[in-house]
Every structure is written in C-alpha cells, then in structure tokens.
C-alpha cells in the first residue's frame, strides 16, 4: 500500500516550511491542506487536540506533531534518501543543540524587531543581530551548517530567512550588511529547489505581517 501523507499547514508558518523542505528533500509526495488558524478545522482539532497548531503530518491516518519531531520522523521513515541528521551520535547531538538554540533565541529576537518601537526595537535589533553573528561563527567557512551537505540545522534555520525582509523593513536594518557570511549561506540554501519551492516570497510575508501588525495597533 502506498503511503498516504497529508500536511496540515499555513503558508507563512516557519515551522510548516521546515516540514515542506524535509518532504521535498526526501522526494515524498503529499497533500498540503492549508489551514485557517482563526477558524480551526475539525481535522486540525482532531489531529492536534493538545496544541491545536500547525504543522501536523498525517502519515497513513496517524498524526505526528511539532515541526522538529516531524522532521526527525521523516528522516527516520524515508531513511534511504538524503539523510538530514548526521549519523554520528556526537554530531547529531551538536546539530540538535543548534536547532534548539535557533528555536529559543532567533524567533524571540526576530519578533522584537517588528512588534516593538523605539528603544525596545533598537534593543531587539541588537539581540537579533547578535544571535545571527553567533550562528555565523558556528557556520565558519563551511558551505552549510551540516558541512558539505545541507542538513538538519540548515533546514530548521532557513525558513526564518523568508521573514527577514519584513524584519528589516519594520526595523530599518540590513542583515546582509552586518552578517555577509550568513547572507551568503542563505542565498546558497535558496538555490536548492527543495528550499526555493518551500519558502514564500519575502514581500508576501511582509504584506501578511503588515496586516497582522495593524491588528496589534501598529501603523
Ligand atoms: C510551533 C507551531 C506553531 O507555533 C512547532 O511545530 O515547532 N513548536 C511548534 N504554529 C502556529 C503557526 S506558525 O506560527 C499555530 O499553529 N498557531 C495557531 C495558534 O496558536 O492557535
């Protein structure tokens, strides 16, 4: 029996993008069911009754939850094609550490660049750039965080790049000017078909976040 793979997703979701890239890297065919998060579908509530969030991977009727758990599940199930996590336990632990760092630090820093103004925003920009510089240090001279090949850290980080144009527009700063090596890495990732087809256009994200900001009371 062929696998039935369904992804409950929302186009601007950084977490959803991770899963899209993983499925594309593995060449897995799936049905993408776009969700309305303001009016959650019975399917989403049934598949993720605890958090009621996307992404959800429904594999042969069974839900897998949380983007990083889903990506690791995909890597294990479709293990013959394009490994995403390193096979060495120490390297795997290192990759998981950096992905954990990205989830704890980058999202929060990024959020402050577009949900605050004045001093708080300046502080947010500084923190955001510091996080990117730390990541840049970890990348070093390697083409990818995974070394010669695109891997788990690259896949978990690159979706943020589709939000950078919005961060930079609201915060009036440039990541490329401050972190050129990071920008070169991002462009390298964007050249991969699996990434390019999984990320929305930065201008579309800017439009989405502009509306969202207005609903929060910003002009
Ligand atoms: C986060 C998922 C999430 O926040 C993961 O999968 O890694 N830790 C989880 N999903 C958001 C959309 S993306 O910002 C979501 O579904 N929100 C709906 C809600 O909060 O009601």
Cβ 156 under 6 angstroms from ligand 1: no
Domain positions in the chain are 5-77, 89-215
Cβ 205 under 6 angstroms from ligand 1: no
The tokens for 64 are: 């897998």
The tokens for 66 are: 């949380």
What pLDDT, in 10s, does the model give residues 76-134? 999 999 999 999 999 999 999 999 999 999 888 888 888 888 999 999 999 999 999 99
The residue assigned the tokens 């795997």 is: 92
pLDDT at 1: 60
Q: So what CATH class is 5-77?
A: alpha beta
What CA–CA distance (Å, rounded) separates 189 from 169?
A: 22
Q: Are 67 and 51 in contact (CB under 8 A)?
A: no
Cβ 212 under 6 angstroms from ligand 1: no
- Which CATH number, 2.40.50.140, 3.40.50.10490, 1.10.645.10, 1.20.1050.10, labels domain 89-215? 1.20.1050.10
C-alpha 10 to ligand 1 mean position (Å): 9
What pLDDT, in 10s, does the model give residues 130-161? 999 999 999 999 999 999 999 999 999 999 99
pLDDT at 110: 85
Nearest atom of ligand 1 to the alpha carbon of 35: 16
Q: Which residue has the higher pLDDT, 61 or 217?
A: 61
Nearest atom of ligand 1 to the alpha carbon of 66: 6
Cβ 104 under 6 angstroms from ligand 1: no
Cβ 15 under 6 angstroms from ligand 1: yes
What pLDDT, in 10s, does the model give residues 33-52? 999 999 999 999 999 999 99
What residue owns the CA closest to ligand 1's atom 17?
53
What residue owns the CA closest to ligand 1's atom 16?
53
């Amino acid at each position: 029996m062929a696998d039935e793979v369904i992804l409950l997703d929302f186009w601007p979701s950084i977490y959803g993008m991770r899963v899209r890239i993983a499925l594309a890297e593995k060449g897995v065919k799936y049905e993408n069911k776009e969700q309305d998060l303001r009016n959650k579908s019975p399917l989403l509530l049934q598949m993720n009754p605890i958090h009621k969030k996307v992404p959800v991977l429904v594999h042969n009727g069974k839900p897998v939850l949380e983007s990083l758990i889903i990506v690791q599940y995909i890597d294990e199930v479709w293990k013959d094609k394009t490994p995403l996590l390193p096979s060495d336990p120490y390297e795997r632990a290192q990759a998981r550490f950096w992905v954990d760092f990205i989830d704890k630090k980058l999202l929060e820093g990024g959020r402050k660049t577009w949900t605050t103004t004045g001093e708080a925003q300046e502080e947010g920009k500084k923190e955001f750039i510091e996080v990117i510089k730390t990541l840049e240090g970890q990348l070093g001279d390697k083409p990818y965080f995974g070394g010669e090949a695109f891997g788990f850290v690259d896949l978990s980080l690159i979706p943020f790049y589709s939000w950078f144009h919005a961060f930079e527009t609201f915060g009036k700063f440039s990541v490329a000017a401050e972190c050129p090596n990071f920008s070169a890495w991002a462009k390298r990732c964007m050249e991969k078909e699996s990434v390019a087809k999984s990320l929305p256009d930065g201008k579309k994200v800017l439009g989405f976040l502009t509306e969202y900001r207005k609903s929060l009371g910003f002009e």
